[in-house]
Amino acid sequence: MKIIVCIKQVPDTNDIKWTENNTIQREGVESIINPFDLYAIETALKIKNTLPDVEITVVSMGPLQAEKMLRHTIALGCDKGVLISDKKFAGADTYATGKTLATAIKSKLGDFDLIICGQFAIDGDTAQTGPSIASQLGIPQITFVRELKQCSQDSICAVREIEEGFETVKAQLPALICVLKGLEDTSRAKINGVIRAKNTVVDVYSMEDIELNPEDTGIKGSPTYVSKAFRPVHNRGECEFCKDSSSLAQKIVEYGGLHE
Amino acid sequence: MSNILLYAEVTRENFLHTVLFELAYKAQELAQKLDKAEVSAFLICKTGLAAEYKEAFINSAFDNVYIAEDDSLENYSTELYSKIALDIIKEVKPDIILVGATTQGRDLAPRISSSLHTGLTADCTGLDINEKGQLAATRPTFGGKLMATILCKTLPQMATVRPKVFKPAPENIVKDTKFVYFKPDIENIKTKVEFVEFVKGMNTCINELDSAQIIVAGGRGMKNEAGFELLKNFAESIGGCVGASRGAVEMGLAPVDIQIGQTGKTVTPKLYIACGISGAIQHIVGMQESDKIIAINNDEKAPIFEVCDCGYVGDVFEVLPRLINEFKAE
């Protein structure tokens, strides 16, 4: 069974700093594996533990420095790392990103049974790249996956967490799933994994390598673009401070507290 | 003539998801800025259900409602729903498609936009029409620390919109709505995913906070279980519901289903009282649309005071009992 896990390197959003021009400072901000993607890897490793002959390939689209992150996933127990990297990918929205990854999967990875993505990336928070990849590859998707009930060579059964509860669906493979963060801790690197990671070559492919047209990726291939980015502003007036509890109580009543 | 098309989502309990009415009122406003734009909805559901919703559509100023009914559509299916939606969209040719950013909307919309080779802006909290007549969709990114306004080069321009951010029309706007039935081409859709079962959730995301008029929320400053007990008593004394910041949830003081903020709920009560909440941006994005906000915190420099109407600098453990006494006496 061949599993592909798509991961993204993201800036640690807990560590965001602002420049004087109110833009996000990217230099010196630590890059991490998107936390949801760690659970995508965890899900793949679990399947590898239960089924025979499972091969996990981890794919990422990003700058060359993401190679280190892919190497780390091999230390965690994944088998191969593939980095899709090209300056021409810059500015890709979720449509172009989905297209780029789908093209890379088709041209460089060939047949696969299951693709696993994290449900959200903590920087963009769109939850769209997974469905975009599935759509471009013409395979079914299961999103908001809370847990896998069963995975065999030709089908997968998953529990989705939706607003009103839990929905179980079963998909024929090949399929793509987007997983939520689990409750349990994710795996740590093992010593033999670290050694293997050292000896594994991460394949790096450019736009030309995957035979993608420059019109189909990056800013050019993206239907959407950011026209303006700004810090959130609050248009509420000046805060009026109360000196004591009785004036505070008055305000609560004035604002509609106590009324049915 | 331009058209705005809204997705009418049906919940598990066979209600129209309320985000439709929030979108409807907002779309009316956008339509004013577009020359004579029509606002329509499309509904995909099991046979016979659409009739139950007709009045709701007529009272929400829809020009047209496109309906695809079939017995096989009882449970949401990405494959069936996206294929039927594409058939309807190809017929209607809207310029703008808005979908609620629910789990269903966020599953369905990217599948539609990819097939149409168009753009989709996720989980928007602001919608406008710019001077060129384009949809300007604003959304929070980087955990709510940065807002981005996104435009789309292609048609239709699509966006998923966060529920509870926009308000529904304050009263009915009755229109002579046209109902158009589409015959879904179910037999020719290959499905590879089957529905197995649905179990109503213990930690259901929809609870009394969604419709609460008064919310009293506690943060790390409530310190311990006794603090949250005090918060509950205070909420009771003014007829409010209890919410929590992520900090309080992480300390184990409150369950995750009452968490308010970026990774929790977005709430829009008439009155929001933040107790012992410092006001991290992730929390603010979940409550900033409340009509009135009061903050109680012992740190006068806490960022929560920058987004509230009224503030009290002091110890929550001193002021809450006094407030409770005051309201109990009334």
| Overall average pLDDT of the A134-154 stretch | 96
Query: Which of A13, A139, A163 shows the shortest C-beta gap to B145?
Result: A13
Q: Which of residues 263-322 of B touch A (CB under 8 A)?
A: 270-271, 273, 281, 284-285, 288, 291-296, 305-313, 319, 322
Span B208-329 CATH architecture: 3-Layer(aba) Sandwich (3.40)
pLDDT bin (cut points 50, 70, 90) of residue A217 is: very high
Q: What is the pLDDT of residue B204?
A: 46
Q: Tens digits of per-residue pLDDT, A104-132?
A: 999 999 999 999 999 999 888 899 999 99
Residue range B240-252, pLDDT digits in tens: 999 999 999 989 9
Q: What pLDDT is stored for residue A12 in this prediction? A: 79
Residue that is written with structure tokens 């919940």 in the block: B11
Q: Do B309 and A168 count as a contact with CB atoms less than 8 A apart?
A: no
Under an 8 A CB cutoff, do B198 and A165 touch?
yes
Report whether A163 contacts A38 (CB < 8 A).
no
Gap from B17 CA to chain A (nearest CA, Å): 11
CB contact under 8 A, A167 and B296: no
* Residue at A233 is within a domain: no
Chain A residues touching residue B83 (CB < 8 angstroms): none
Count of residues making up chain B: 330
Q: Where are the domains of chain B?
A: 3-188, 208-329
Nearest-neighbour CA in chain B from A135: distance (Å): 6
Domain span at residue A219?
A: 2-224
Contact criterion met (CB below 8 Å) for B179 and B50 = yes
Distance CA B305, CA A44 (A): 45
> What DSSP state is assigned to residue B45?
E
Domain at A36, CATH number? 3.40.50.620
Written as six digits, the tokens of B198 are 């649905």
Residue A241 lies in a domain: no
Tell me the residue ranges of DSSP E strands in A54-164. 55-61, 80-84, 114-118, 141-151, 155-162
What are the chain B neighbours of A19 within 8 Å (beta carbons)? none
CB of A236 less than 8 A from some CB of B: yes
Domain B3-188 matches domain B208-329 at the CATH topology level: yes
Q: CA–CA distance from B60 to each of A239, A244, B8, B128 (Å)? A: 36, 45, 12, 20
Answer whether B78 sits within 8 Å of A140, measured CB to CB.
yes
Q: What is the pLDDT of residue A124?
A: 85
SS3 content of chain A, % helix, strand, coil (to 5): 30, 30, 40
Q: Hey, what are B113's tokens?
A: 């936009």
pLDDT band at A260 (very low <50, low <70, confident <90, very high): very low
A168 chain-B contacts, CB cut-off 8 A: 195-199
From B157's Cα to the closest Cα of chain A, the distance in A is 9
Q: Contacts of residue B199 in chain A, CB cutoff 8 Å?
A: 165-168
C-beta of residue B323 within 8 angstroms of C-beta of residue B307: no
| Pairing, β B193-200 against β A165-172 | antiparallel
Q: The pTM is what?
A: 0.85
Highest mean pLDDT among A11-25, A147-161, A235-249: A147-161
CATH 3.40.50.720 fits B3-188, yes or no: no
% of chain A exceeding 90 in pLDDT = 76
How far is the C-alpha of A64 from the C-alpha of A122, rounded, in Å? 20
Q: Is A186 on the interface with B (CB under 8 A)?
A: no
Chain A CB within 8 Å of residue B131 CB: no
Q: Report the distance separating Cα B156 and Cα B115, nearest Å.
A: 12
A259–chain B Cβ distance below 8 A for any pair: yes
Please check whether residue A196 is in contact with residue A56, taking contact to mean a CB–CB distance below 8 angstroms: no
Q: What pLDDT does A23 receive? A: 62
Kindly state the tokens that stand for B116: 């149409």
In-domain check, residue A84: yes
Residues A14-19 have a mean pLDDT of 66
Spell B212-245 as b/e; 16+ CB within 10 A means b. Answer: bbbbbbbbbbbbeeebbebbeebbebbbbbbbbb
Residues of chain B with pLDDT below 70 are 1, 201-207, 330
A136 to A7, A117, B17, B113, B139: CA distances (angstroms): 18, 15, 29, 11, 25
- Which of A231, A239, A250, A254 should one mutate to test binding to chain B, selecting the residue with the greatest count of B CBs within 10 A? A239
Q: How many CB atoms are closer than 10 A to CB B257? A: 17
How many contacts, defined by CB atoms under 8 Å, are there between A and B? 249
- Quick check: A255 contacting B, CB < 8 Å? yes
Q: What is the model's pLDDT at position B182?
A: 94
Strand partners, B60: B173
The number of domains in chain A is 1
ipTM of this complex prediction, to 2 decimal places: 0.90
pLDDT of residue A30: 81
pLDDT tens, A163-204? Answer: 888 999 999 999 999 999 876 778 888 889 999 999 999 999
Identify the H or E element spanning A129. Answer: helix A129-137
- Say yes or no for a CB contact (<8 Å) between A257 and B238: yes
B328 lies within 8 A of chain A by CB: no
User: Could you report how far apart the first and last alpha carbons of chain B are, in Å?
Assistant: 58
